[in-house]
Structures are given as C-alpha cells and as structure tokens.
Structure 1
Amino acid sequence: MSTTTQRHQSIDAVRGFAVLGILLMNIVGMGLPTFAYLDPSYWGLDGPADVWVWAVNYVLADGKLRALFTMLFGASMLLIADRAEGRRPGPAETHYRRMGWLLVFGMLHAYLLFFGDILVTYAIAGMLIFPLRRLKPLWMIGLGAAILLALLAYSLNEASRIETLWTAIQAGTATPVQLAQWQEAQILIQPPRSLGEEEVRLMQGGFLEALQSRARVAMIMQLFIMPTSALPEALGQALIGAGLFRLGFFTLGWPNRAYGGVAAFGLLIALPITAALAWKAWSSGFDPGLRHLCESLSALPRPFVALAYASVLLMMVRAGRAAGLVDRLAAAGRMAFSNYLGTSILTSFVFCGYGLGLYGELSRWELYIVVAAVWALMLLWSKPWLERFHYGPFEWAWRSLAQWKPQPFIRRAAAA
C-alpha cells in the first residue's frame, strides 16, 4: 500500500469507526422517548442488564464518537478546500455550496427521519469556521479548546442554577419566581411521564403522526439546544479537528510514540473520570441536579477519549493489523453520509408504526440487537458498493448538487 493511499485510508477508517459508534447513543433517541437519552430511569431501564448497557455506553460512547466525527468534519473541510485550490468553483464557493445543501439534507433528516440530526449543526458550524481555515494549526486548536471551555463554564453555571431550583423544590421552599423558572426548565430537565407516553402513541402511528412527534422535538432541539450547546460544541471540536489535520494527526504524520501517549492519556485518565461521573449519576438515582452536573462535567474528558480511540486505530492502520476489518471500516467511512442517513431510514421502519412499530417497546439492552444488525449491514454493503460505484448514493447526490451537474457514478470496469 502506498503512503498516500494509507493516509487516505487512515482518515476513512477513523471516520467509519465514528459513524458506527454514533449509533450506540442515537439508537436510544430512535427507539425510546426523547428524554430517555438524558435520564435512563425515564424509560427503558427495566433491569440490571439495562443499567449496565447505559453505564458502558455512557462511559465509552456518549459524546465521544460524536466528538470524533465532528473533528473529522473539520479535517474534511480543509481537505476538500485544499483540493479545490486552482479549480472552478474555488474553495470558498465549493465549501458554501456544500454547506448550503448539507443544511437542506439536515432539515429533511431532522423532521422526516430523526430529530437528533447533526447535519444542520455541521452546516452552520462549517459556514462559520471556514474563514478561519488559514489560521496556524495551534491557533485553530487553541481557539477550539477555548470555545469548549467557555461552553463548559456556561454548562456548569446552568447546572448550578438547576441544582438550586431542584433543592428548593424538594425542600418546599421555592419562591414564586423559582417555581416559574422550574416550570420553564422542567420540559428539558424532568418532563412528565405522560409526555413520553404521547411520543410512543404518535411514533407507533402512521407517518404523519410520527412527523408530528419528530417536528416538535426537532424544533426544540434547533431553537433551544443547538444555539446554546450543540453548535458551540461543534465549532470547538471542528476547529480542533482542522488543526490536528494540519499537524498530520489523521494522516499518520505522528510517530507511534505520540499516538501511544494520546491513547494512554485518554484511556487511562480521561476514561476513568467519565466512569466516576457515571457512578455519581447512578448512585444518586439520577437526581436531576446532579445528573445535569455530571453531564456538564463529562464534556471535559470527552475529546481526549475520542482522540485516544483515533490513535489506537491509526496505529492499527500503520501496522497493517486487522486489515480486513480496517478495509471495511474505511469503506464505511468513505460512505459516512450515506451510512448516517441510511441508518435513520432503516431504524425509522424498525421503530415507527408504518414499519415494525417497536418504538418504546424494547428495553435499553434490546436496542443493541438492532445496533448489531445495522453495524453488520454497514460493514457488509459499503465495500462491495464502492467496488461498483464512485460514491455512496447520498455522497453522489450531495456532490452533484454542490457542483450543479451530475458526477460520475458507475465505475467503468463494473459497467463493462
């Protein structure tokens, strides 16, 4: 394998790993009422197996694979801009066309398939950070880290406010102002069980009923959660990913000793911190105030765990270890857009009433049977598809729309 091919495979393999991993947490929002994602005791926590599944995913997956996927989004932004240099359309026009169509895809995805869409956030983040692409790598990383630290400070302040409100409510000493504030915040902190039951009823109905449920949650996500949480997080992580790309992190430009150091810090220091936070949240009975505080603090070790996973995989690519699996992951990564959207299409038929109608019917551990099946499909179909076609179906559509002309699709050898 040539050095250039190996470098491209390294990015694709890490992206494939991330797009598979995102489903570990998205499946909860796809198959259970929305609030079960934040509070496992709200729905689907029926026994010890469900507690263990929540704990393992909270420690190993929650936010980490999304962080890695977002860093790779920042890296890909620079990679595509570099390729567009000296061409028509140029880097800026190519980028903003891509982000405009990504916004369209994201809005359709959020309202028709899955409220937890990340594409709208990526489109907006990409539009905002593109002018910063010529910053020195360490400046990009520093700015990204500053944004994440500012978000952490904001989240901790919110957690403190919620803890104060919850303590007053529990003690029966809440003032009229605090009661009003709690009523306003409760929909995001501790919604009534009846709201989840209403979600189940709608999602087990027809397409229009599911659309009604998704639209309501997607609107809340985009109007309230994205501006204050998801968008700043995406900005920070994408900038860090872009800086690391310039420093050669994702293209095997670091020695194994450096990758090993990143992996050791993430797995031996950052991961145990996350485990301690999971223990605190569980041992409190998922107390709303403490749960929100643990969720806020978990953002601090998150990027380090994400980069630890990437480091291990990059060392595997360099060493040629598990080559068959790495090839499958790389193919899934080259088709990450199609696999991300395809997962939502598939799971909507599994869970909604116009399909199998399993929404709200499975406990938390049973959801991961669906995850295993979807992973198998992603790893099985991506490589054979790319042997016959230049792009995944949604990659081809996105690229053709951005270029405003159909792109080559069928490989000549396959056509012959």
Structure 2
Amino acid sequence: MRGFAVMGILLLNIISFAMPRYAYADPTFYGGASGANWWAWAITFVLAEGKMRGLFTMLFGASTILIAERTLASPGSPARRHYARMISLLAIGMVHAYLIWSGDILVLYALCGGMVFLAWRWDTPRLIAVAALLLAAQLASGAMDYAAARQFEDLATAPGAPPAIREQWERYRSGVDQLRDSGAAEVEAFRGGWAQALPMRIAITSEAQRTALPATIPETIALMLLGMALYRSGFFSGTWPSRWYRGVLITGYGICLPLYLPLVRWIDARHFDPIALLLSEPLHLVLLRPGLALAHAALIIQVAVSGACRPLTRRLAAVGRLAFSNYLGTSLICTYLFCGYGLGWFGYLERWQLYPIVAALWLLMLLWSPLWLARFAHGPFEWLWRSLSQRRIQPLRRRHPL
C-alpha cells in the first residue's frame, strides 16, 4: 500500500517539478487546460489529488504506533526513538526543501509526527473523534472563508462602492496576481544553472513554510490520527471481514467518486477562480478525499489478501519498503530532467506530456526496488535516516543476499 501511495504522489508532484507553482492549482495558468490537458487535470484531480498523499499520511500515523509498540518490546524508549526519528527527518526535509525541491513534505511530517506521538496510546474511538473534529473544523473554516470572500467581492464590485473598499479588494486579489506574475521569473530561474535556480527555490520554500505549511497542519494531524485508528482496528493488516472492505469500496467508488463530477464541473465553470477554490478544497478534503483514499487502500488490501497479481504486489511491496528513497530519488531525477543544470525541460511540456515521464519513473521504481533489496537491508535514504536517528552508522548490506 505504501508503494502504491508513493508512486501515486508523483501524479501530482510532477506538475510542481515541471511548471511554475500556480499551475498546480490552476491548469489554465500554465501547461494547457483543454483537450488532453483538461482530461489530465480532471482525472488526476478526481482519482489522485490529495488521495495518495492522504493515504501516505495515514500510513505514517500507523507506522508511528507500529514502531512505538516494537520499541516497547526492547530496552529502548518509544518517545526517545520517535523524536530522534522526527528530528532527523526534519533535518533531511530542510535540506531537500531548500536545496533540491521546494515541494517537500518531510518537514510537515516531522512537525506533525512530533505532535501526534502524544496520541499513540489513545484508543480507536478517541482517535477517530479527534480526527473528525479537526476535519470538520477545516470544512467550517473553508466555508466561512469562501462566504466572506464572496461578500467582500460583492461589496467591492457593486456600483458606487467606496474607494476604500475597492482598494482593500485590490490588495486582497494582489496575492494571487503576484503568484501568477511570478510564473515568468520561475521559468527563467529554473531553466538556468544551479546558482540561478537556488535563490528562487529558497524564496518559494521560505514562503511555503510561512503560509502553506501551517495551513496544512490540522489536516495532516487528522489523517495521521485516522491512520492510527485504522491500524488499531486491523484495517491495514487485512483482518477486517470482507464485507467491511466491500463497504469501504462501495462508499468510495459508489458515492464519493460520482460526487466529484459536479465538483469538477463547478470548478471548471468558475474558471478555477481562487475564491471558488477556497470552498472546493475543504469540500473534497473532508467529504470526498478520505472515502476515495480508503477505497484505494481497500482495493490494494483485497488484491494482496486474495493472492492475485503476486508479481506486481511483491514489487509494490518493495517500492513501499524503499518509499523514502523512492520519494527523494524522484526529486533528484525530476529536478535533473526539468532544471537548467540538467536537461532543462522546465516549462516546455504540456500537462498531458508529463504523464509518460511518470509512467517511466513508475517502471523504474518497480524494477530497481526489488533488485536493491535483494542485496541491501535498507534503501540508501532509509539507511541515512536510520543512521542519523540512532547516531551511529547502520549496516547496509545484507549478510546473505537474497
């Protein structure tokens, strides 16, 4: 399941690797939004946007309990081990974000991981209740932001609106306008050499960590807590009754998936208006994303438990065991492909043209991961993380290669 999630994350991350950052939210801004490009946006938005990251976040929460329980069986302290891991993850994430790719998620995971550890002993109902409250708060906040922005727009654009209100409205809209206007500067910077790209990457990362990162903390904590609850209930280990998994599949694919159709139509009809996105984001974050993400998970679990597609599931398991290396490895490969200090493809490809590259990288993950694990006990970046968190060099090679 972790292998499936880390591969699926690339469907969205590829946009940020290849195009100016606002293209992630608005395909009309860059990369094309008609024909094959529109379908590329719509399909990834419905099936993958937020779902793969959400699933990966839930698994991160589940692994928090798993590692803590294993540590209890040894002389070590679960808290000391966990926080050593989170501090090391934070350090790696900061290097990744500022020097390699500004779309890093490791810093967010390290910060939220430090907070959710306080809940690792909670029972399942409490975990679910707190997760639900956090998600409901996100939905309420988004709805209020949307209503306030629409009211502000109506006041500022009404005939005879006071000049002061119009001026405040212009300042409000200038944030998005500045983001759009920075597209040309991003293209120029990332098509240049390392020294030219680095200041732009630092500026984007610094801004994201000041604004976007705090806004995503409640959602991330909620999904980690939900992952903990699902782990405790046996969902991830495949021990639920088959009818329960079928219920998750029906909810996700039979209810949540069709409800995306009017949402996609509304966003498209509003021409990806930033105010419309204030509402669409929490709507699918809270009401639709979790159900579809869990349906993806239930499908993977059912396939694995049934023994079907064993060659593929074995390779997916290997990708999942090397999830950290595959995540950081795609950053290294993609920045080489798209930045000027590599092949310099940044901003040249249309949206749909990015997905053959994704398919090639998926194939690479499925091929190299089992080959690496046949000789080595850990992935290269898993080994680095483990060595940093334990403050000593860990063995890398297997004593007896498979």
The TM-score with structure 2 as length reference comes to 0.95
1:112–1:164 Cα change, 3 Å: farther
**Conservation of the 8 A alpha-carbon contact between 1:35 and 1:191:** no
Given the alignment, which residue of 310, 334, 352 partners 2:321? 334
**Conservation of the 8 A alpha-carbon contact between 2:156 and 2:165:** no
The aligned length equals 400
**Conservation of the 8 A alpha-carbon contact between 1:159 and 1:296:** no
Partner of 1:271: 257
Tell me, which stretches of 5 or more residues in structure 2 are unaligned?
Answer: none
1:73 offset after TM fit, Å?
Answer: 0.3
**Conservation of the 8 A alpha-carbon contact between 2:22 and 2:179:** no
**Conservation of the 8 A alpha-carbon contact between 2:20 and 2:187:** yes
1:277 partner amino acid: L
1:353 offset after TM fit, Å?
Answer: 0.3
Q: Deviations over 1:349-394 (max 9, x none)?
A: 0000001111111111011121111111111100110111001000
Query: Equivalent residues in 2 for 1:231-270 (5 A)?
Result: 231-270=217-256
Partner of 2:278: 292
Query: Equivalent residues in 2 for 1:62-77 (5 A)?
Result: 62-77=49-64
1:28 offset after TM fit, Å?
Answer: 0.8
1:232 partner amino acid: P
**Conservation of the 8 A alpha-carbon contact between 2:153 and 2:169:** no
Q: Secondary structure at the match of 1:275?
A: helix
What is the percentage of aligned positions where both structures have the same residue? 43
1:23 offset after TM fit, Å?
Answer: 0.7
Query: Equivalent residues in 2 for 1:34-73 (5 A)?
Result: 34-45=21-32, 47-73=34-60
**Conservation of the 8 A alpha-carbon contact between 1:148 and 1:232:** yes
1:390–1:407 Cα change, 3 Å: same
1:65–1:131 Cα change, 3 Å: same
1:365–1:291 Cα change, 3 Å: same
Partner of 2:302: 315
1:193 offset after TM fit, Å?
Answer: 4.0
Alignment pair present for 1:148 and 2:101: no
**Conservation of the 8 A alpha-carbon contact between 1:71 and 1:241:** yes
Alignment pair present for 1:179 and 2:133: no
Q: Secondary structure at the match of 1:298?
A: helix
**Conservation of the 8 A alpha-carbon contact between 1:152 and 1:296:** yes
Given the alignment, which residue of 268, 287, 305 partners 1:282? 268
Q: Deviations over 1:317-346 (max 9, x none)?
A: 110011111111110001100001111110
1:211 offset after TM fit, Å?
Answer: 1.6
2:305 partner amino acid: R
1:399 offset after TM fit, Å?
Answer: 0.7
Partner of 1:116: 103
Alignment pair present for 1:32 and 2:32: no
Alignment pair present for 1:164 and 2:151: yes
1:412 offset after TM fit, Å?
Answer: 1.5
Alignment pair present for 1:325 and 2:309: no
Query: Equivalent residues in 2 for 1:395-406 (5 A)?
Result: 395-406=382-393
Query: Which has the higher mean CA deviation after the structures are superposed, 55-64 or 81-90?
Result: 81-90
**Conservation of the 8 A alpha-carbon contact between 1:165 and 1:182:** no
Alignment pair present for 1:139 and 2:106: no
Partner of 2:90: 103
1:87 offset after TM fit, Å?
Answer: 2.6
1:414 offset after TM fit, Å?
Answer: 2.9
Q: Deviations over 1:112-139 (max 9, x none)?
A: 1221111111101111111111110121
1:202–1:174 Cα change, 3 Å: farther
1:178 offset after TM fit, Å?
Answer: 5.5
Query: Equivalent residues in 2 for 1:341-360 (5 A)?
Result: 341-360=328-347
Q: Secondary structure at the match of 1:39?
A: coil
Cα RMSD (Å): 1.7
Q: Deviations over 1:160-197 (max 9, x none)?
A: 2333344455556475246335424542x444643100
Mapped partners of 2:174, 2:179: distance in 1: 8
Q: Secondary structure at the match of 1:413?
A: coil
Partner of 1:197: 184
1:134 partner amino acid: R
Tell me, which stretches of 5 or more residues in structure 1 are unaligned?
Answer: 1-13
Query: Which has the higher mean CA deviation after the structures are superposed, 193-202 or 80-89?
Result: 80-89
**Conservation of the 8 A alpha-carbon contact between 1:140 and 1:243:** yes
Mapped partners of 2:394, 2:11: distance in 1: 33
**Conservation of the 8 A alpha-carbon contact between 1:190 and 1:288:** no
1:209–1:181 Cα change, 3 Å: farther
Query: Which has the higher mean CA deviation after the structures are superposed, 163-172 or 402-411?
Result: 163-172
1:167–1:269 Cα change, 3 Å: same
